[in-house]
Amino acid sequence: MAKKVRVRFAPSPTGGLHLGGVRTVLYNYLFARQQGGDFVLRIEDTDQSRYVPGAEEYIYECLKWCGLQPDESPQAGGPYAPYRQSERKDLYRQYAEFLVQEGKAYYAFDRPDELDSMRERFKTAENPSPQYDHKVRMQMRNSCSLTFEETERLLADNVPHVIRIRMPENETVTFTDMIRGEVSFHTELVDDKVLLKADGMPTYHLAVVVDDYLMKITHAFRGEEWLPSSPVHVLLWKYLGWEKDMPQWAHLPLILKPDGNGKLSKRDGDRLGFPVFAMNWTVPGTNELTKGFREIGFLPEAFINMLAMLGWNDGTDQELFTLDELVQKFSMDRVHKGGAKFDFEKAKWFNHEWIKKSEVGRLKPEVRKTLEQQGISVNDDVKLETVIALVKERCTFIADFVEQARFFFQTPQQWDLDAIKPKWNEAKQAFFGDVINYLQQQTNWVAADLEHGFKELAAAKQIKPGEVLLPLRIMLVGGKFGPGVFDIAGIIGKEETVKRVSNLLGQL
RNA sequence: GCCGCGUUCGUCUAAGGGCUAGGACACCACCCUUUCACGGUGGUGAUACGGGUUCGAAUCCCGUACGCGGUACCA
């Protein structure tokens, strides 16, 4: 029987959740759901100096908003708890010690300043960043260069030390990446990575292997930036004796900045005027706020859809997918190898499409909330629904409903008079006087009838409808936008329509 | 520097030996609309370069260039 699929998203809680992070979550989630597997959230907080309060809660909130909730997590618990690496601290040391006994790792007592001076000493034009590897190993203070007795004494004296992997000098590590196929590395070019830090915490390298093993992870997806350290991980799986349980790796392509090249960063978003984080993120302490997709009015459906298409497609021309469709159709072998530049214009298009295709009921709570935040009170539920249905196709963001729907609920306070004043005359003034009379006589307030009557009246006065339609719009709406004027009149009602017309007529 | 990974319209991408290299975003034009959108039609626009293999190459192989990633007691 095949092993049950288990995947994990393993962020370190140091700040806002980046687009690329959400995409990694998404691919994990899609794969797990499709395979009937489990999706685990594991918090990789092994660097205590980078602890940021609130960052972990923020991640849960993001996943919740996106609808990508984990089956197991620090919050939800699960059979492999705890899911926070800081709470698993005591677990890791034994594995590192085991590797030392096996001769696959060693103690290193070098102080930070000694490491610096080593790097300084070996630095040349051809080798600008010397590594701690087999070439310098014997010149450093570690259990390879020191005698057994010396090492024992240092350990007994509690001299701060780390445990480093001892990279072999002449091997080739090869594995099959689900996206890239076979990749290989020469071990003599990889450094002796620290496995266990002086504070007793594991580094990512040790923790990811131990926890993936203990948590029975079958497929490990992560960003491409991890590819260069993958030989360390593969070797660790082997040295720990777990080779047959090693997950299948998939290194996802990066999301790049729209201009120039390089990984998309928060800075690029600030610079170019779009969000990079899923939700608003406030840096504790400085209170510096970074805008999120949620807050600028993205629908999670659109956000997810857009992210899914950044590096994957189903081979057809289809671009709009629901989460369920993605679960069905997603496949790792259709994931791109190359990085994708993020295009905010295209992201906006996805959101616009989703607003258009969403049911009124889906939009209603969010639209109501946004309108009310702007001081527009919405008491008539049916009217709100009618309005949403009428204007949603002209909204790219939820916030656009403010402009597009405001005049249905509030009398305009400002009018684009420049649009009508230059061509205004006595005849039009008189005509609108007649319009008011006409409107007041109506007992059956229906848009189509109003339009018909209005045009007949204009014809009777020898006025072309085009001459007076725009003025009417300005009177009702305030500006040159919105749905058909008579639809608007139909919705706001007789009293309000008459009021708006006569109100502005007095100002012309 | 070294190692690894990449490279099709400006952007996201399709086409995994046979095509006038397809779609979408953006842009432009026209139509619809006597507003703004939506919608419709059309247009500009790409296989990084050089060698092979082949009857035939965007597709396979080898170089070159360029880009990115990594080279931390960060993840």
Residue-wise pLDDT tens digits, A256-274: 999 877 899 999 999 999 9
Mean pLDDT of A148-160: 97
Q: Please give the span between the terminal C-alpha atoms of chain A, in angstroms, as a whole number.
A: 82
What's the mean pLDDT in A216-238? 97
Cβ atoms A73, A287 nearer than 8 A: no
Kindly give, in sequence order, each residue whose CB lies less than 8 Å from that of residue A252, ignoring residues fewer than 6 positions away.
Answer: A20, A23, A24, A27, A179, A221, A222, A223, A224, A311, A335
Residue A266 assigned to a binding site: yes
Residues A431 and A94: their CA atoms lie apart, in Å, by 91
Residue whose entry in the numeric block shows the structure tokens 């590590």: A173
Return the axis-axis angle of helices A344-357 and A300-309, rounded to nearest 10°: 130
pTM of the model: 0.95
Rounded Cα distance, A275 and A292, in Å:
5
What pLDDT, on a 0 to 100 scale, did the predictor assign at position A259?
A: 85
Any idea what DSSP says for residue A149?
H
d(CA A282, CA A290): 6
Cis preceding-peptide flag for A483 (omega within 30 of 0)? no
* Nearest nucleotide to A161, CA against C1' atoms: B73
Cβ contacts of residue A12 below 8 Å, gap of 6+? A43, A44, A45, A46, A47, A50
Distance CA A270, CA A263 (A): 14
- For residue A226, the Cα-to-chain-centroid distance in whole angstroms is 20
Q: CA at A354, C1' at B44: how many angstroms apart? A: 29
Confidence class of residue A38 from pLDDT cuts 50, 70 and 90? very high
Q: What is the pLDDT of residue A508?
A: 77
pLDDT at A506: 85
State the number of CA atoms in the 13 A half-sphere of A244 facing the CB.
1
**Burial bucket for residue A189 (CB in 10 Å: 0-12, 13-18, 19+):** exposed
pLDDT digits 0-9 by tens, A97-109: 999 999 999 999 9
Quick: pLDDT tens for A345-383. Answer: 999 999 999 999 999 999 999 999 999 999 999 999 999
% chain A with pLDDT above 90: 94
Residue A283 is encoded by which pair of tokens? 């840096």
Residue among A389, A7, A374, A395 nearest A222 (CA) = A7
Task: Kindly indicate the confidence band of residue A422, based on its pLDDT and cuts at 50, 70 and 90.
Answer: confident
Q: What is the pLDDT of residue A2?
A: 73
Give the distance, in angstroms, between residue A165 CA and nucleotide B7 C1'.
35
* Distances in whole angstroms, Cα of residue A206 to Cα of each of A193, A218, A242: 10, 17, 13
Mean pLDDT of chain A: 95
Q: Is A423 a catalytic residue?
A: no
**Which one from A266, A341, A348, A494 is the annotated catalytic residue?**
A266
Pairing of strands A219-223, A248-252: parallel
Pick out the nucleotide with least CA–C1' distance to A112.
B73
Which nucleotide shows the minimum CA-to-C1' distance to residue A347?
B25
pLDDT at A179 over 70: yes
The pair of structure tokens assigned to A418 is: 């420049």
- Dist CA A385 CA A445 (whole Å): 19
ipTM: 0.96
Q: Is the CB of A499 under 7 A from strand B?
A: no
- Residues lying close to strand B (Cβ under 7 A), chosen from 190-249 of chain A, are 191, 194, 197-199, 201, 203-204, 224-229
Bases of chain B with protein Cβ within 7 A: 1-8, 10-16, 22-26, 34-38, 67-75
Which of A240, A177, A167 lies closest to A210, judged by CA? A240
Average pLDDT over residues A448-474: 93
Longest alpha-carbon distance in chain A: 112
- What's the average model confidence in pLDDT over A318-325? 97
CB of A12 within 7 Å of some strand B atom: yes
Which pLDDT score, from 0 to 100, does residue A1 have? 56
Question: Rounded to whole angstroms, how far apart are CA atoms A474 and A419?
Answer: 8
* Residue type at A314 in one-letter notation: D
- For residue A55, pLDDT beyond 70: yes
What residues does A41 pair with on adjacent strands? A9
Quick one: what percent of chain A has pLDDT higher than 70?
Answer: 100
Closest nt to A196 (CA→C1')? B73
E strands in A209-361: 219-223, 248-252, 255-256, 281-282, 289-290, 340-341
CATH 1.10.10.350 describes domain A411-508: yes
Q: Distance between CA A504 and CA A370 in Å, rounded?
A: 28
Helix (H) or strand (E) holding A267: helix A266-272
Q: Report, at the CATH architecture level, how domain A266-357 is classified.
A: Orthogonal Bundle (1.10)
A67 CB inside 7 Å of strand B:
no
Please tell me the distance from the alpha carbon of residue A351 to that of residue A388, in angstroms, as a whole number. Answer: 16
In CATH, the number for domain A88-210 is: 3.90.800.10
Edge-first strand order for the sheet with A194-196 is: A105-108, A162-165, A194-196
Q: Which two tokens stand for residue A177?
A: 């990446």
- The number of CA neighbours under 13 Å toward the Cβ of A426 is 0
Q: Average pLDDT, stretch A323-334?
A: 96
> Torsions phi, psi of A165, nearest 5?
-75, 145
Per-residue pLDDT band for A313 (boundaries 50, 70, 90) equals: very high
